[in-house]
């Protein structure tokens, strides 16, 4: 793993002592981190290539943590969030968790509780990033198909036989077999079942061209 791909934890808290304490804890656990005193500072920072998460205080100057969570979602910035607060309540916790927060910790919290939540968040982000990378690669393969090959793929994964596809497209069965072979090779599918799974990941409608 290169330094750019290494996990990184971002901390936003207007309490300098809390930021320093969390950063020290993360360093002792072998985790890279970067701290900010306000949400706006974080937005000016470039997100790393590797897995990351955000330890976010609810009470911040300017925009509060819950509103910032919604702002990030609206902007399409996907990063796992762990909330920390000195005065949390049940409605606040429910709102945060329903919006996708990994954890909601009330100060003072146990160091291990925070580390466990961070590891959970980083593991989840690592899996999501891998899935996104795999999907991007799959889309690239699909885009390399010709329009006719995409058409054939859509009909194949809908369950049609070669002779049915040939009739539907007004071509010969041997031509369909050739297109089908090209589809399997370009999509790097070893079986029809795998091709169907790929179509599902690409969210292709049956028979989609």
3-state secondary structure the chain: CCHHHCCEEEEECCCHHHHHHHHHHHHHCCCEEEEECCHHHHHCCCCCCCCEEEEEECCCCCCCHHHHHHHHHHCCCCCCEEEEECCCCHHHHHHHHHCCCCEEEECCCCHHHHHHHHHHHHHHHHHHHHHHHHHHHHHHHHHCCCHHHHHHHHHHHCCCCHHHHHHHHCCCHHHHHHHHHHHHHHHCCCCHHHHHHHHHHCCCCCCCC
- Report pTM: 0.76
| Residue 208 confidence (pLDDT) | 46
Question: Residue range 177-194: average pLDDT?
Answer: 96
* Span 148-180, pLDDT tens digits: 999 999 999 999 999 999 999 999 999 999 999
pLDDT higher than 50, residue 209: no
Task: Report the share of the chain in percent with pLDDT over 70.
Answer: 96
Statement: residue 61 has pLDDT above 90: no
Predicted confidence band at 94 (pLDDT cuts at 50, 70, 90)? confident
pLDDT at 171: 94
pLDDT of residue 15: 92
For strand 81-85 and strand 32-36, is the pairing parallel, antiparallel, or unpaired?
A: unpaired
50 neighbors 7 (Cβ within 8 angstroms): yes
* Overall average pLDDT of the 76-105 stretch: 86
- pLDDT at residue 116, as a whole number: 96
Measured in residues, the chain has a length of 209
pLDDT tens sequence across 123-134: 999 999 999 999
The mean of the pLDDT values for the chain is: 90
């Amino acid at each position: 793993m290169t330094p750019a791909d290494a996990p990184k934890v971002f901390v936003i808290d207007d309490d300098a002592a809390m930021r320093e304490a969390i950063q020290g804890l993360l360093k002792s656990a072998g985790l890279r981190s970067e701290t900010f005193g306000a949400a706006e500072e974080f937005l000016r920072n470039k997100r790393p290539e590797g897995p990351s998460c955000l330890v976010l205080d609810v009470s911040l100057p300017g925009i509060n943590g819950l509103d910032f969570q919604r702002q990030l979602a609206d902007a399409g910035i996907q990063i796992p969030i762990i909330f920390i607060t000195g005065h949390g309540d049940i409605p606040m916790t429910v709102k945060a968790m329903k919006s996708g927060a990994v954890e909601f910790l009330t100060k003072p919290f146990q160091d291990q509780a925070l580390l466990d939540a961070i590891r959970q968040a980083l593991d989840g982000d690592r899996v999501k990033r891998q899935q996104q990378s795999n999907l991007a690669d799959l889309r690239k393969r699909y885009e390399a198909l010709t329009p006719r090959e995409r058409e054939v793929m859509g009909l194949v994964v809908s369950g049609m036989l070669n002779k049915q596809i040939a009739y539907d497209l007004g071509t010969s069965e041997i031509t369909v077999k050739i297109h089908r072979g090209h589809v399997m090779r370009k999509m790097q599918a070893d079986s029809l079942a795998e091709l169907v799974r790929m179509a599902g990941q690409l969210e292709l409608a049956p028979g989609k061209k």
